[in-house]
Amino acid sequence: MRKLRIGIIDLVSKGPTRALWAKVFNANLASIMPQVVGVWCQKAGHDVSLICYTGFEDLSEELPRDLDLMFIGAFTESALVAYAISSRLRAQGVVTVLGGPHARCYPEDAQKYFDYVLGFTDETVIQDVLKDCSQHVPLGVRLSAAKQPVELPGVRERWTFIESTLRKAPFIKLVPMLASTGCPYTCSFCIDSSVPYQLFNMEGMKEDLRFLLTKFKRPLVGWHDPNFGIRFDDLMGSIEEAVPANSIDFIAESSLSLLSEPHLQRLKRNGFGALLPGIESWFDLGEKSRTGLAQGEAKMQRIAEHVNMVLRYIPYVQTNFVMGLDVDAGSEPFELTKRFIDLAPGAFPGYSLLTAFGEAAPINFQYQSEGRVIGFPFHFLNNNGAMNLRPKHYAWPVFYKHVIDLTRYSFSPRAIARRIGGTSAFVPKWLNVVRAISSEGFGRLRYYTQVHQQLLSNRQFRDYFEQETDVLPAFFQNRIREDLGPMWKSLPQGAMYHDPYAYLKSQQEYSRLAAAGGTAG
């Protein structure tokens, strides 16, 4: 095989930015897989340049000339940026490949703009792309491994890519690691609800942790595991064998069901400084919070106590909630969250608007069958830019009124002050303040208020939400144009629109072919 010149872009920003928080933090959002793909391509003998796009780079300057092949890793919120880059490169004869959450959730749409669209990706899938490496028009080729890979190149092998990315992070330098894929829980909205849990080989992980101690005085590791700590004793035992206690700072997403007091003591001993448990709902998903059948007020009380216990051991805690779930009705879910904020003031509340990401979760098939999914442009699908699903029990203005009310309560001067008081360590205290007064707290409040006003005053805007028109309101179009900046002119025609029912249609086609005795390919 000839030696290829390969570019890889890890998109962690959905367009150019000058925001201070983005400058400080974006490089810490880098993904593991673009670095892994880089290692596999180098191993196959090719030249590789990887750029983590944080919103500050000029890609036309930074990308090497005469590329043969470009891999892009993208979340759905940065899909339009990915499409714009791909369109410009394909016009120059470069072959383009899309991987990451967007490719997994919206493969049919991505096929229109890329030569290859990858689902689960292992070394064999990458080798197949490298061997074929040709343009596929009008529709790109979809490739996927049968399951998640059982191991991935570790930190040592990815180091040159990690190092060049972290050079862009001035203060906090987070090294991304992964010890497992999938999850044994089955939260209906989650991309991993049907992906079996598997733990990676612990020897590689131990070697990576020892390696990191040769690179930093006190490394900071962000675990990208969907649910860290499922095989708790194996994981903690390996960390304890590999490195001295409390020599590395760790951050992880984990379920409350895994955070018993003995587990918290062990996590603290080993340097876990931040945990992000998902609570999601006061009326559902009791299993992952170990609250069983308790609901409403009873569940909230138990979780508030549990979170306060977590805060006694772990300095930084973010509790995640989903707003707009089908089990929610009336003001009660929002009022309970406010009470929770009062009872567990040290936890930072992370809110997501329920989003049906294409074919991510099996429940999306049901949502599409019910005709409730709205084709908001991908640019807004990041759990807060838009809720692309008509709520089951709320009229839109009422829903947004609740969202605004809760956001205002969560980031009021009183709540911010109580959060400072409820957090023990210096950095977490001030990180919470910055998050509250920046785009996440005040910024979202401003944005939701604009959406609410438009819902009340602009008929065409409201009609779009009510699925009475497909014509995108100017409010959203203008935002895309502003956010994309110079990339706007490379955005392929029609890319702002997608078929929100593509998953349903592909499943129906599959069933039709299966019934006729064929296969859907």
Residues lying near ligand SF4 in the complex (CB under 6 A): 183, 185-187, 190, 192-193, 226-227, 255, 278, 288
The answer to the question of residue 384 lying near ligand B12 (CB under 6 A) is yes
Cβ proximity to ligand B12, 73 vs 315, nearer residue: 73
Cβ proximity to ligand B12, 73 vs 219, nearer residue: 73
CA distances from 358 to 255, 388, 389, 407, 498 (A): 25, 10, 11, 27, 10
DSSP 83-121: HHHHHHHHHTT-EEEEESHHHHH-HHHHTTT-SEEESS-
Three-class SS state of 257: helix
Q: How far is the CB of 343 from ligand B12 (least distance, A)?
A: 26
Q: How far is the CB of 186 from ligand B12 (least distance, A)?
A: 12
35 binds, among ligand SF4, ligand B12, none (CB under 5 to 8 A by kind): none
Q: Which residue has the tokens 């009510």?
A: 466
Cβ proximity to ligand B12, 90 vs 224, nearer residue: 224
Q: How far apart are CA 167 and CA 164, in angstroms?
A: 5
75 binds, among ligand SF4, ligand B12, none (CB under 5 to 8 A by kind): ligand B12
Residue 130, both tokens: 């490298």
Each residue 188-227 as x (binds ligand B12 by CB under 6 A) or -, in order, gives --xxx-------------------------------x-x-
Question: Closest residue (Cβ) to ligand B12?
Answer: 99
The answer to the question of residue 31 lying near ligand B12 (CB under 6 A) is yes
In contact, 129 and 116? CB cutoff 8 Å: yes
Q: Choose which of 42, 127, 148, 506 interacts with ligand B12 (CB under 6 A).
A: 148
The answer to the question of residue 353 lying near ligand B12 (CB under 6 A) is no
5-11 and 47-53 beta bridge pairing: parallel
161 DSSP 8-state letter: H
What kind and span of H or E run contains 272?
Answer: strand 272-275
For residues 422-441, which are near ligand B12 according to CB under 6 A? none
Cβ proximity to ligand B12, 205 vs 304, nearer residue: 205
Q: How many residues bind ligand B12 (CB under 6 A)?
A: 36
SS (H, E, C) 370-429: CCCECCCCHHHCCCCCCCCECCCCCCHHHHHHHHHHHHHHHCCHHHHHHHHHHCCCHHHH
255 binds, among ligand B12, ligand SF4, none (CB under 5 to 8 A by kind): ligand SF4
Q: How far apart are CA 383 and CA 387, in angstroms?
A: 7
In contact, 267 and 261? CB cutoff 8 Å: no
Q: Which amino acid is at 22?
A: A
Cβ proximity to ligand B12, 102 vs 299, nearer residue: 102
Q: How far is the CB of 308 from ligand B12 (least distance, A)?
A: 24
Cβ proximity to ligand SF4, 248 vs 354, nearer residue: 354
Residues that bind ligand B12 (CB under 6 A): 12, 29, 31, 33-34, 37, 71, 73, 75-77, 97, 99-102, 104-105, 118, 120-121, 148-149, 178, 181, 190-192, 224, 226, 253, 357, 360, 382-384
